[in-house]
A = this chain, B = another copy of it.
């Protein structure tokens, strides 16, 4: 099975060469993120694609000096919603109605379920909910990258508040949830490139009831 080979090939790359991804490759990975499933279809995140060298250096400082942030070809920051307003829900429903050629009134039940599910959540719970959706997309993006034999590293180890400030996310009601670096492994300088993958045998994590 293809995807098994892909996932066996990939590992959490620590050191990247300076070989860049093509725009086409980046677009494919962005497209898997765009097509990813999200709760209620709301797509509650934006992808910040950091190309500024200065910003990359600052991100690296905010991430315990992890070299991927300046060495990798691309750095994507998943910036998730910190609020869901009625106006945002209505804009989404307009989009659903126009895409599917339906009357807005037909979506009234759906509108009520969205608002009853999200309308009363605290900021922290909205962030948690939105982050979960970002992580589904992250998983798909990593699978896509592996299929294209592009290396990737999911990165959670950074000061989220500092990154929010660096990217001006707070004033846009966004929050840096997780990052993904993309590029090509530097096998000479990354000892993990040849390390054996450590995974529990399936019987340790699979329970049939």
Q: Which residues of B contact A95 (CB under 8 A)?
A: 198, 200
From A14-22, A32-40, A65-73, A182-190, the one touching the partner chain is: A32-40
Q: For this complex, into which size category does the number of interface residues on chain A fall?
A: 35 or more
State whether the Cβ of A49 lies closer than 8 Å to any Cβ in chain B.
Answer: yes
Among A1, A27, A32, the most chain B Cβ lie within 10 Å of the Cβ of A1
Asked if B28 and A1 make an inter-chain contact with CB atoms under 8 angstroms apart, the answer reads: yes
Residue A126, interface by CB 8 Å:
no
Interface residues in A167-199 by Cβ distance below 8 A to B read 167, 178, 195-199
Known: A1-B28, A35-B8, A202-B31. A209 touches B55 (CB 8 A): yes
User: In the assembly, what is the distance between CA of A28 and CA of B51, in Å?
Assistant: 37
Contact A205 B45 (CB under 8 A): yes
Contact of A142 among B28, B37, B167 (CB under 8 A): B37
Most buried by B among A140, A157, A195, A202: A140
B-binding residues in A (CB < 8 A):
1-4, 7-8, 10, 12, 27-28, 30-37, 39, 41, 43, 45-52, 55, 95-96, 99-100, 117, 128, 131-132, 135-140, 142-144, 147-148, 154, 156-157, 167, 178, 195-200, 202, 205-209
Say what secondary structure dominates the interface of chain A.
Answer: helix
A47 surroundings in chain B (CB, below 8 A) = 205-207
**B residues less than 8 Å from A142 (CB atoms):** 37, 136, 139-140
Q: Which residue of B lies closest to A148 (CB)?
A: B1
4 more A-B contacts (CB under 8 A) besides A3-B28, A4-B31, A136-B142?
A7-B140, A8-B35, A95-B198, A136-B136
Is A147 in contact with B2, judged by CB distance below 8 angstroms?
yes
Q: How far is the CA of A142 from the CA of B35 in the complex (A)?
A: 12
